[in-house]
Amino acid sequence: MTAEPGSSPDNPLDNTTDWVAKQLKEYDESDGTSWPTLRGRPLMLLTTKGAKSGVWRRTVLLYGEVDGKVILVASKGGHPQHPAWYVNLRENPEVRVQVHERRFTAIARTATAEEKPRLWALMAEIWPYYLEYQEKTDRDIPVVILDPRD
């Protein structure tokens, strides 16, 4: 018997945003040998558990790495609301991560006010558009730290 899509982190529902869905499909069809990129920047896979639904969902995100931790920016392109994946991990901080062939569980948290400037600068080097996204919104765009557990 096959598990319902979204019922576990091993069988998540995929983000249906066109470019994200395309990246996920290419990755899956290559059995993980073709790694997704966005304008030459590497992407990683993040699986979160729905804050309200409890459904596991997978998306593709730009990332950075510092001291063995994965760093994300919850920009949503400067949209006034946080991205769904960020809302989910605030409620359910245990997430699944894949960076190339490395798969692990992590505990997610929002960077503190003291941590954020250094991490924001790092991520803006990776993706300078984050600076434009922050200018587009009144929302303080969070930086997320994923601390590997295994």
Q: With respect to residue 4, please indicate whether it lies within any of the assigned structural domains.
A: no
pLDDT reading at 107 higher than 90: yes
Q: With respect to residue 119, please indicate whether it lies within any of the assigned structural domains.
A: yes
Model pLDDT for residues 20-69, shown as the tens digit of each residue: 888 888 877 776 677 777 788 888 999 999 999 999 999 999 999 999 99
**What's the predicted TM-score (pTM) here?**
0.91
Q: With respect to residue 80, please indicate whether it lies within any of the assigned structural domains.
A: yes
Q: With respect to residue 1, please indicate whether it lies within any of the assigned structural domains.
A: no
d(CA 139, CA 2): 41
* 24, 58, 85, 98, 118 from 89: Cα distances, Å: 20, 12, 6, 16, 22
What average pLDDT does the structure give for the chain? 92
pLDDT reading at 1 higher than 80: no
Percent of the chain residues past pLDDT 90, beyond the cut: 69
Q: Which residue has the tokens 């300078």?
A: 128
Percent of the chain residues past pLDDT 70, beyond the cut: 97
Counting the structural domains of the chain, the total is 1
Q: With respect to residue 7, please indicate whether it lies within any of the assigned structural domains.
A: no
pLDDT reading at 113 higher than 90: yes
Q: What is the CATH number of the domain that holds 120?
A: 2.30.110.10
Joined together, the tokens standing for residue 15 give 């983000």
β-bridge partners, 99? 102
Q: With respect to residue 5, please indicate whether it lies within any of the assigned structural domains.
A: no
Name, in order, each residue with C-beta under 8 angstroms of 55's C-beta and a sequence gap of 6 or more. Answer: 6, 7, 13, 49
pLDDT in the model for residue 33: 73
Q: With respect to residue 143, please indicate whether it lies within any of the assigned structural domains.
A: yes
Q: Which residue has the tokens 């998540």?
A: 12
Which segments within 29-68 are labelled E, that is strand? 37-38, 41-49, 56-62, 64-66
Structural domain harbouring 118: 13-148
